Copies of this chain bind each other. A is one copy, B any other.
Amino acid sequence: MSAAPPADAAGAPEVVLVNGSSAASLAPLDRGLHFGDGLFETIACRGRRPRLLDWHLERLALGCARLHLPPFGADELRQEILALARAAENSIIKVIVTRGSATARGYGPSGREKPTRITLRYRWPDENPDWSTHGVRVRTAALRLGENPALAGLKHLNRLEQVLARAENSDPQIAEALLFSSSGLLVSGTMSNVFIVSQSRLRTPRLDRCGVAGVMRRAVLGCARSAGVDVAEAALRAEDLADAQEIFLTNARVGIWPVRQLDARALTPGPVTRALQIRLAPLLEEPPDA
């Protein structure tokens, strides 16, 4: 079966479904391959339940609308994700939705495409538990992100910038790289959003020019607001990062990672980070849509 990954591949998924079928393979004409013409979601599943599923599906639907992708069968996808999550105690489910096979040569969609849905379930990865408690080491990427409001916020398939930023450094002790945009704005990590705390004010980059609007970023913004923290999305630059007393990263799987080192600078996970980790903890183990 062509869809099966090689048995010895590290990190290979346990399940691969193409349009719901484990026997299906991907058409070489798929516009996801040719142009990155599609979107994805990476969903953390704990206790056999997908975490923040509604928000993942909401972001996917928003992305489809912005890219003018045809409807992809949201109910069917939800059932598929729930069934896959139920079959393993903890897992990561990645969903890719593309515009489907090309019906003509060239970039322009014909409007007659039928979307392709690829669903993969991976084992929950082993990870150093210290990273959540004591924090992670982070570096600043040399690569800068291009700015395009038409794509900003979306979790689309054009990810060469993230590939190149990750490839700048292969030290497994460096958990993440922070990225600035071409005009010098702080954006995010390669696979996480970033928050900074300065004089008890919590700030995270506005994502109106580039970056992905993460579901865990949304959860943390909500937690912070309900806790009465002074929190806002803002245009942040290198000097804001340098002035920050606390820095932390968010992502759907890890929740909050305090940053304990940024390039050569040591940081201590501070009170705002710790308070938000405590408030977020129930959500990480118990999805709100349970």
Task: Give A residues with C-beta under 8 Å from B.
Answer: 2-3, 5-6, 9-13, 16, 18, 24-37, 40, 67-68, 92, 94, 96, 98, 101-110, 118, 120, 122, 125, 143-148, 150-151, 156-167, 170, 182-183, 190-191, 209-210
Asked if residues B151 and A161 are in contact (CB atoms below 8 Å), the reply is yes
Chain B residues, Cβ within 8 Å of A32: 33
Asked if residues B11 and A103 are in contact (CB atoms below 8 Å), the reply is yes
Q: A182 CA to B209 CA in the complex, in Å?
A: 10
Shortest Cβ distance from residue A5 to the other chain B in the assembled complex, whole angstroms: 5
Copies per complex of this chain: 2
Q: A183 CA to B12 CA in the complex, in Å?
A: 41
Chain B residues, Cβ within 8 Å of A16: 28-29
Chain B residues, Cβ within 8 Å of A18: 28
Assess A67 versus B147: contact at CB under 8 Å? Given A25-B27, A34-B96: no
Asked if residues A162 and B33 are in contact (CB atoms below 8 Å), the reply is no
Q: A31 CA to B116 CA in the complex, in Å?
A: 16
Q: A98 CA to B26 CA in the complex, in Å?
A: 15
Asked if residues A163 and B107 are in contact (CB atoms below 8 Å), the reply is yes
Assess A182 versus B35: contact at CB under 8 Å? Given A26-B30, A166-B106: no
Assess A122 versus B105: contact at CB under 8 Å? Given A2-B2, A2-B24: yes
Shortest Cβ distance from residue A137 to the other chain B in the assembled complex, whole angstroms: 15
Chain B residues, Cβ within 8 Å of A36: 35-36, 157-160
Choice from B9, B108, B150, B170 contacting A101 with Cβ under 8 Å: B9
Asked if residues A3 and B30 are in contact (CB atoms below 8 Å), the reply is no
Asked if residues A148 and B145 are in contact (CB atoms below 8 Å), the reply is yes
Chain B residues, Cβ within 8 Å of A67: 160, 163-164
Asked if residues B2 and A29 are in contact (CB atoms below 8 Å), the reply is no
Asked if residues B162 and A35 are in contact (CB atoms below 8 Å), the reply is yes
Asked if residues A159 and B34 are in contact (CB atoms below 8 Å), the reply is yes
Choice from B28, B144, B146, B190 contacting A210 with Cβ under 8 Å: B146
